[in-house]
Structure 1
């Protein structure tokens, strides 16, 4: 009997392994990951297009990755299909789509005019994107985070950082910047500033938790969304330029709003012990 026990135990373990391997996985777990993989394909394609000098299509691929990145997370929460695997895959895809791809596009279009310094700036953009994503993942587990803090990001999020970093390319497509290499120094300084913004402690507005809107605002929001989509298709570079400038202009407002919330919390904490 004693000789049979190890063998039966091994067979039981092997059977459990087979059951785990071939268990049914709900489709709701697969759909968000499929969208994330499509976004990754779009980001990697942007790198190829940058090497080939097809910059407009390359930037369009990055923007497609931004849209897909916004869709996959919301779809996962809607279908209750969030998973640790999906979160890790999303972070890796975001690093490629919003760190590596914009860096390669900017380097091949302009920053290579600065030679080694240009490559350092491109690396800086990619590395800051990776650090920003890592910090975001760690901050998710913070139990002491106040509820109002969900209205803000710490630093510019990776998709917004990529969109802002590509602003010189939008201006180039519009003819405002006639030669990326001629403006390489100014573009390099701007890209370095955006990279630092991504890893900074500057609070920026977050739309990630805007899950509901008032009933009377449904129609205006739908009209605005459709109008924005039409503008993006008809006038992509003008639209992205305006959005980038508006985002930068909103940063001082977000800082003031964040400080107002923090001051209210501090005041409540002071009043609490005093009243007791």
Structure 2
């Protein structure tokens, strides 16, 4: 083996050339722990809700879905606060939402009300789960062109809250075997169809994304929040159900009001005064 000092200039040049042109190994991409751990917790809540419903524990199933909704609202905010957004996290969040706010509510309401209806009971449950899948897919492809102040169609967590809130309210009122109570079954039939179809409408539902530490809101908003807290504290099942039903109707109210005023009803590139919407209106 030739000593490095005894190498000719040509040999040393060849060694330097080889070292400079060695293929660079790509850096291994890691996965951010905190936001994805929250997403996994939301996914587990949806899974637990299904298991609880299968065992007839509908109150626990409903609480688990609402816990999943809270966790779902946190993971994205935590990712932005810690600057740990990633494409992996976005896909993970969508898959978690499909389970917790798509499959879980459809299965829970089917077990709770529709299991004795035969194939007729498949209709509202499948319409709901299909609506959730279509809603999430459309959200993912339209995320860059939708006015950030509104959602295009009812968000899947809100749709799940309507269905699950209904089950929780009836269960809390003492309706334990609703398959033997036709009017409750048909109420659930209609509410599930409403929630499922509302997810695929073009009605604009307020996103509340303008709320934040650097934004100001009218005083009446704080009054409304205070009233909502009081309503929920008096009877959580009924309070949550009433609030999300009102939200589920709000998109159609906004849609009708805009049509009556002759204003655009689509949420695709409708805002021209928001900084986040620049470049979407050519």
Checking the alignment, whether the CA contact within 8 Å between 2:211 and 2:217 is kept in structure 1 is no
**Matches of 1:216 and 1:200, distance apart in 2:** 29
Checking the alignment, whether the CA contact within 8 Å between 2:165 and 2:238 is kept in structure 1 is no
Checking the alignment, whether the CA contact within 8 Å between 2:232 and 2:240 is kept in structure 1 is yes
Partner of 1:16: 25
**Matches of 2:209 and 2:58, distance apart in 1:** 29
Checking the alignment, whether the CA contact within 8 Å between 2:65 and 2:164 is kept in structure 1 is no
Q: 1:172 aligns with which of 170, 181, 184?
A: 170
**Matches of 2:247 and 2:55, distance apart in 1:** 30
- The alignment's C-alpha RMSD in Å is 3.5
1:37-186 map, 5 Å:
37-142=40-145, 145=146, 149-175=147-173, 179-181=177-179, 182=181, 183-186=184-187
**Matches of 1:138 and 1:151, distance apart in 2:** 17
Partner of 1:207: 208
Partner of 2:35: 32
- How far the C-alpha of 1:118 sits from its partner, in A, is 0.9
Structure 1 segments of 4+ aligned residues over 4 angstroms from their partners: 176-179, 220-227, 230-234, 256-261
Higher helix share: 1
Checking the alignment, whether the CA contact within 8 Å between 1:36 and 1:72 is kept in structure 2 is yes
Partner of 2:255: 255
Checking the alignment, whether the CA contact within 8 Å between 2:46 and 2:99 is kept in structure 1 is yes
C-alpha change, 1:123 and 1:150, in structure 2 (3 Å) is same
Partner secondary structure for residue 264 of structure 2: helix
- How far the C-alpha of 1:184 sits from its partner, in A, is 1.8
**Matches of 1:171 and 1:113, distance apart in 2:** 21
Partner of 2:279: none
Checking the alignment, whether the CA contact within 8 Å between 2:114 and 2:121 is kept in structure 1 is yes
- 5+ long unaligned stretches in structure 2: 1-17, 273-282
- How far the C-alpha of 1:257 sits from its partner, in A, is 5.8
- How far the C-alpha of 1:79 sits from its partner, in A, is 1.9
Partner secondary structure for residue 151 of structure 2: strand
The TM-score with structure 1 as length reference comes to 0.76
Bigger drift between 204-213 and 174-183 goes to 174-183
**Matches of 1:224 and 1:185, distance apart in 2:** 32
Checking the alignment, whether the CA contact within 8 Å between 1:113 and 1:184 is kept in structure 2 is no
- 5+ long unaligned stretches in structure 1: 1-7, 269-276
Greater radius of gyration (CA): 2
